[in-house]
Amino acid sequence: MMVLHFDGELTLLLLSLAAVCILNLPLLAVMPVRCEVLGKKSSIAMFLVAILLGFYVSGNKVMTTVSSEIAKIDSTGFLMASALTFLIMITLSLRDIPASVQQVMVMCIAGIAVGSCAAINTGKIVEIVLSWIGSILLSASISLLLYPRLRSVFNSLTPLKREAGMRVFMILVLFLLSMASGSSTVATAVSPLSIVTDSKAVLAGVVMVFAFFGVIARYWLFHAIPPRLLDNLDVSAVALVQMSAALSVFLFSLVGMPVSINHAVFASLFVVSYLKDIRILERKVIRNFVRNGLGVPLLSFIAGAVVSAIM
Amino acid sequence: MGIVSKLLAPFRSTLENDVFKALVELANLSSTTCSMLIRMIESDNKNLVRKISKNERHGDEIRRNVEKLLFEGAFLPQSRPLFFTLAERMDSVIDSIEDCAKIYEAAQQIDEEIKRRVLHILDVTKEACDCFCDALLSFFRGDERRMQEKIAVINEIEARIDDVKHEVFKSMVRSRDKCFWKEKCMEDFVDSAEEISDKLQDAADTLSVIAASMKV
């Protein structure tokens, strides 16, 4: 049975969720459109179906972890966490700093719990932080294992079959990546909403609506441009990078861990560019990645603690 | 297009197959047109120029068709400019064969020795055209080793033709005939015959780049 507290609270939650979806969801799932393998409509349809599937398969576990296993805070605390996530994500995106919704949300909740002297599950937070590192390592390992195999399979095909195979591979990657988004990013973004409603159908509806507007806005605003770093790689390598990240994130979400797709992509990109002997990731980029990976969660934690202490 | 066809579209290579057929046709056309030019010079039958021009126009049509297929979505976007260049370069081979035929048609008289040497150049060029057809087929069959072998043969032939051309020029300089227009016609004739293999080498280089760029 759906239980809603008051309109303002819900509106703010939905707004935060929308912003998070618009900023993050379709960031990587644009390659088939860019390569004209799928039309925008088919791509959006597949994206939404896969997001919903991912959300249903393992999103629930991630939602439970974020909403009830990190800390015992009330709905106002979650409202604050959601609004803070929204603000931090918007600010970082405007400054072109890649950040993970999962990291920001988890650390905001932890910060709010500390600031309001609520019970906090330190073991769970350590587990989540370890899973962030684990997902990076897993994504890199998957790339390391898959790259030589993928290369030998594709290179043994005739050019025409290779082209057809590449198209199918890109569609598969779009599906996997969208599923991973649904099971991790969307589930994390929706988790505060699970406090005010216990209906999975309502949550799924909200996910679909905001994922839809998110992907439309992303296409409209950014003309389906994938991250700049990936522009230096060929299509097959980009697809492999995304597949490794998607598999890694999906596997972690199956055990209820909210891990970042962006960070998994970065790790996989590092491995693939090393194997291809292409220097894509300069020292400055790696330094920024490490700095943001450490700095953004810390900033979110401090922001959460300060805001909840003031309020 | 029905929904089923739309869903299956990414799994098919219809457009790519059409591009492949058109490129093979263009390669065969360049070989046929080169044979026609050899026949024209051997038999001194200047009426064959019309047939060569017809082939040139047909080559243009095939090139336009390839370009249209690429615009319709054949191959992934990053490969398309290369296939576009390949079609243009293959078409320019036929254009240069036509140029050579027209220069021969316009020339009043060509020295027999020069004619003999140009025929030798064209014979070897025809061999290079056949090698290019073979390289193209090997590429589409996925036999990259054979393709590279054929491209190496084309490069070797082009180097040989260059040597022959320079020998012809040396003999022209040494000749006592100093009629400017006659010499000019002969020089243009030799140049145009040599240019065919140059264009063919450019096309072969593009094919090599395509093969490298399509590898994972």
Q: What's the confidence (pLDDT) of residue A6?
A: 47
Per-residue pLDDT tens for B32-46?
Answer: 999 999 999 999 888
B20 contacts on A by Cβ (under 8 Å): 160
**Domain residue limits, chain B:** 13-213
pLDDT at residue B113 is higher than 60: yes
Q: What is the pLDDT of residue A22?
A: 56
Residue A144 lies in a domain: yes
| Rounded-to-integer distance, Cα A34 and Cα A223, Å | 9
DSSP three-state, residue B194? helix
Burial class of A291 by CB neighbour count within 10 A (0 to 12, 13 to 18, 19+): exposed
Q: Is residue A219 part of a domain?
A: yes
A168 interaction partners in chain B (CB closer than 8 Å):
10-11
- B1-44 pLDDT tens trace: 566 666 666 666 788 899 999 999 999 999 999 999 999 999 98
Task: Give the model's pLDDT for residue A8.
Answer: 63
Interface contact flag, B142 A166, Cβ < 8 Å: no
Q: Does B6 touch chain A (CB under 8 A)?
A: yes
- B61-89 pLDDT per residue, tens: 999 999 999 998 888 888 899 999 999 99
Q: Average pLDDT for residues B87-97, to the nearest whole number? A: 95
Q: Which of A36, A154, A160 sits opposite B73 (nearest CB)?
A: A36
Contact indicator for B118, B107 with CB cutoff of 8 Å: no
Alpha-carbon gap: A41 to the closest alpha carbon of chain B (Å)? 12
Å between B22 CA and nearest CA of chain A: 14
Assign 3-state DSSP to chain B and report helix, strand, coil percentages, each to 5: 85, 0, 15
Q: How far apart are CA A54 and CA A71, in angstroms?
A: 25
Nearest to A168 among B10, B20, B73 (CB): B10
Q: Does the distance separating the beta carbons of A237 and B214 come in below 8 Å?
A: no
Higher-confidence position of B179 and A70: A70
Query: Residue B176 — very low, low, confident or very high, per pLDDT cuts 50/70/90?
Result: low
Name residues whose C-beta falls within 8 Å of residue B126's C-beta, 6 or more positions apart in sequence: B31, B34, B35, B38
- The C-alpha atoms of residue B187 and residue B204 are separated, in whole angstroms, by 26
Question: What pLDDT, on the 0 to 100 scale, is given for residue A151?
Answer: 87
CATH number of B13-213: 1.20.58.220
Separation CA B155–CA A150 (nearest Å):
33
CA distance B123 to B120: 5
- Put simply, the answer to whether B216 touches A36 (Cβ < 8 Å) is no
**Regions of chain A with pLDDT less than 70:** 1-30, 96, 196-200, 211-232, 280-281
Task: Quote the domain boundaries for residue A198.
Answer: 7-310
> How do residues A156-205 score in pLDDT, each as one tens digit?
888 888 888 888 888 898 889 888 888 888 888 888 777 766 666 777 77
Answer whether residue A1 is part of any domain.
no
Least confident range from B7-11, B118-122, B139-143: namely: B7-11
Q: Which two tokens stand for residue A73?
A: 């805070």
Burial class (CB in 10 A: 0-12, 13-18, 19+), A69: middle
B76 with A37: Cβ contact below 8 A:
yes
List, as ranges, residues 169-208 from A with C-beta within 8 Å of B.
171
So what's the pLDDT on residue B98?
Answer: 95
The total of structural domains in chain A comes to: 1
Judged against a pLDDT cut of 90, whether residue B54 lies above it is answered with yes
Tell if the CB–CB gap between A236 and B139 is shorter than 8 Å.
no
In chain B, pLDDT over 90 holds for what percent of residues?
A: 61
- Of A156, A160, A168, nearest to B20 by CB-CB distance is A160
Residues B132-154, mean pLDDT to the nearest whole number: 94
Which has the closest alpha carbon to A181: A28, A289, A297? A28
